[in-house]
Amino acid sequence: MKIKFLILLTVMFSLNISYSNAEINVPLAIDRLRVEYHENPEGIDIEKPRFSWVLTGEGRSRYQSAYRIIVASSLAELEKDHANIWDSGKTTSNQTNQITYSGSSLSSNTKYYWKVKVWDEAGQESRWSEAAHWSMGLLRFSQWKGLFIGHDVGYDKTDKYDSLYLPPARYLRKSFKTSKKIKRAIAHTTALGLYELRLNGKKVGDSYLLPGWTDYNKRLHYQTFDITDQIQQGENVIGAIIADGWYAGYVGYALLVRLDKVREFYGVNPSFMGQIHLEYEDGTSEIIASDRSWKTSQGPTREADILMGETYDARLENSGWDSNGFDDRTWKAPKIYTYPNGRLQAHPGTLIKNTERLRPIALTEPQPGTFVFDLGKNIAGIASLRVEGAKGTKVQLRFGEILKSDGNIQTENLRQARATDTYILKGEGVETWQPKFTYHGFQYVEVTGYPGKPDLNAITGLVLSSIETDASTFNSSNAMNNTLFENIKTTQSANFIEVPTDCPQRDERLGWTGDAQTYMRSATYNADVAAFMTKFLVDLDDAQRWYGAYPNFAPFPYSRPDQYSPAWMDAGVIIPYNMYKVYNDTRILEYMYDGMQKFMQFQADASTGYLRPGGGNNWGDWLSVNEKTSNDFVGASFYGYDAKLMAEMAEALGKTEDFKKYASLFKSIKKAFTEKYILANGHTTEDTQTSYALALYFDLYPEALAQKGADRLAQKIKANGNKFTTGFLGTKHVMLALSKYGHNELAYTLFKQTEYPSWGYSVVNGSTSIWERWNSYTKDDAVNSDLNAKMNSFSHYAFGSVAEWMFQHAIGIDTEDSGYRNIIIKPAISQQMNHLRGSYQSINGTIASAWHWKGDKFTMNIEIPINTTAKVHLPTKNMSGIKEGNKRISNISDIKVLQSNDHETILQVGSGRYSFSAKLVL
């Protein structure tokens, strides 16, 4: 394996593909067509949707000079280039994303087809792209014909903590006949609670935990499915299974802290609503909607709770209940529920999918009859069970992230989350089952009650996530750091489930805002989170308190006395800013702008002399080690950072007066902050690693003292044995501040550190994910895994925020403006690494950067997407010695030298692949 890697590395660094524009006569090609960040989305409700695409093509300095989008009512019309809905015309522009539809009003429940062509830098016209499409959902309330229906199983009339109330799932069905040939069939469905849609014996779609989690008093999301291919001539049966979910079940830590209410935060019983639109080839149509004619019952799912788990009694299966020919005479008429207070809207984010299937890598039996399956890494999801045995046999599955010293799973850190699934066999050969309405955080599955001794095939792990962590690659000469990168991606996947949860395993799983804002930029490197975070920002805006603060988590079903905290509430500014910075998304800024202004006024009202106090409700630098940064310092520094970002966002929106207001506010905060917290020698009055990191990264230092502050930060780290004293807030900013002020070598030392506290400490102790605490577990100290477990999450992405530094500095990929149109390539080349390479799939295409050094020379390979330019920083002062391939850069017309000094040479390049070599200056 090592030999193969070296061969690959050699090939990569010797590769030099060079084209001049004169050699190019191949038109640009168009790829990755999307509408509102989705490929071929069904049922959106944005009436002016945005288009985007990515360009590919040979050569250098290629760019788009114009585009033309056409939209048609049918694929046949589109193939004839007949734009009977909208034609943008040939539009002179290099824009390839955030292009707004500007045609006539779009219609509900209608499918639209589109394609695009472009012209390149020489005016050469491309082929049309492949056809893409989107469909509209239901845009008017009057178009909803269904009722909210459910099945009455009663409700829990007691309020107790010593037992759980876990009602069964409800089953709903409707038989209908089609005698004419179907042209198109579309289902629009939702539920207060969770639902799975069934049609003619099969699940509709491939998503889980629908319709997702919102503040149901403000909005309820629905899904749209094209079911044309599933409708059959004659009798059809539409069915739905519904369960409590976030709507009526146990949510978060309410049970743990003994709130007045521990479940049913939005409602008591789940209900389903939906309708099927049938369009026949003869031009007629009809709607099959949820109404009083449906039939309802209970079934084999006896318990279904998103936190506590699921119990399924296969003996109670109503075989064929969702297919034709089933006798439902014993089923009841549905109970009718009122419409929710929240507005019905199409789900704007990315739905939860099964992104990976894992086979166990080991099976142990720590005690007779107790079998433990090891899936190899710590995930969020469910386990599929395969079993054969006698009728009535009860098999129980429990879940854990680590093992105790005796080989059994640890469940203490789950706190009040029962996290247990139970399957009762029907005794009919090999049976397979997986739950529908719960999920767990786990690496290990404990199986008890299994008939006989299972083999590895008895359990399969299904990874569930709202995202695919496929937007980036990272590889270095340090194996530990490579494992760290995989752990970061695994943990992000496990927590980006409908909202960015803090952890997937214990009785929490809340969208904590401090974790989310700290990790936001890292999240964008590892995955395309544009749609996911759009949805979360709607949740956050819905959760904003009446007095202006954003809360500690969103959605916000309940609170403890402290509703908000500095550095947590600031997510309402920091996340939208990063959406703009990464995806050039100004629409989300417009959506959030009024709330952000209200938040800034809330901070101003609480400030004295432009300093925002921390107050009592402050989580501070959560889980810092041996150093405490004051709450006031944290509050004041984030207030300054908010003002800085608000000025930039106001400018992006063309709000000139607001830009001036917030720019002036930032200056005033900076002045007051300097007077209170910055000493004449460049030290902070707090003198903690976190205080320097925040002040430096947020530009709150006077320019004349900033380098002294950075040097003091470096001095403190070295005096602490090259280790952190920081927590969630300080850690990522330490790395960014060090590299910002020239301390790259120290940043690499921290990056490679394996002693506590460090990222490497968890890796050498066997982690497959990011831990909440630096020292959650040690493989050589079994006692540590058995005790003090209640605040140990082994899947907590906040410390994974180092990914931001990994890409912006180690690999060196950043954006100068917004949306990666003007790219910065500035890798921090260090002799602590032999080589490092990585890539990032930006909204404009793939950006790649790799470097390798030997002796006093280095080689840098980069790839810049079509339609972008890059400033490339080379760590050498010998400009005449820089070569691109075998040529000196002075002889290459498409490379421009912008600057050269004692530390670096900065080049400007267009799109294409480049291989630079020069003498290394460190």
The catalytic residue positions are: 508, 772
Whether residue 793 contacts residue 772, with contact meaning beta carbons closer than 8 Å, is answered with yes
> Which tokens is 117 given?
């062509």
Q: Which residues pair with 362 in a beta bridge?
A: 374
Q: Report whether 319 contacts 450 (CB < 8 A).
A: no
Burial of residue 836 (CB within 10 Å: 0-12, 13-18, 19+) is buried
- Residue 662: what residue type? Y
Q: Which two tokens stand for residue 804?
A: 């931001």
> By the 8 A CB rule, do 563 and 549 touch?
yes
In whole angstroms, give the CA distance from residue 237 to residue 644: 57
Nearest to 169 by CA among 335, 303, 355, 25: 303
Amino acid identity, position 756: Y
- Closest by CA position to 424, among listed 389, 453, 454, 455: 389
**How far apart, in whole angstroms, are the C-alpha atoms of residue 792 and residue 707?**
37
Stated as kind and residue range, the H or E segment containing 426 is none
Tokens of 771: 């831990």
Q: Which residues pair with 70 in a beta bridge?
A: 87, 115
With vertex at residue 9, the alpha carbon angle to CA 8 and CA 14, rounded to the nearest 5 degrees, is 100
Amino acid making up residue 316:
L
Contact between 346 and 193 (Cβ < 8 Å): no
As a three-state string, the secondary structure of 664-725 is: HHHHHHHHHHHHHHECCCCCECCCCHHHHHHHHHCCCCCHHHHHHHHHHHHHHHHHCCCCCC
d(CA 654, CA 723): 44
User: 287 φ, ψ to 5°?
Assistant: -120, 130
Torsion of CA 529, 534, 535, 537, to 10 degrees: 120
Strand partners, 354: 464
Residue 77, amino acid: E
What tokens appear for 691 in the block?
A: 């205080």
Tokens of 126: 């491309």
Give the full edge-to-edge strand order of the sheet including 869-874: 813-815, 822-825, 869-874, 905-909, 895-900
DSSP 160-191: -SSS---PPPEEEEEEEEE-S-EEEEEEEEEE
Task: Give dist(CA 162, CA 155) in Å, integer.
Answer: 17
Q: Is the peptide bond before 360 cis (omega within 30 degrees of 0)?
A: no
Distance CA 86, CA 700 (A): 49
Neighbouring C-alpha atoms within 13 Å toward the C-beta of 701:
27
- Asked if 321 and 241 touch (Cβ cutoff 8 Å), the reply is no
In angstroms, what CA-CA distances link 922 with 306, 742, 743, 751, 753?
53, 10, 11, 18, 21
**What's the Rg (C-alpha) of the chain?**
29
The DSSP annotation for 525-576 comes to: HHS--HHHHHHHHHHHHHH--TTS---SBSS-S---S----TTTTTHHHHHH
Give the distance between the most distant pair of CA atoms in the chain: 88
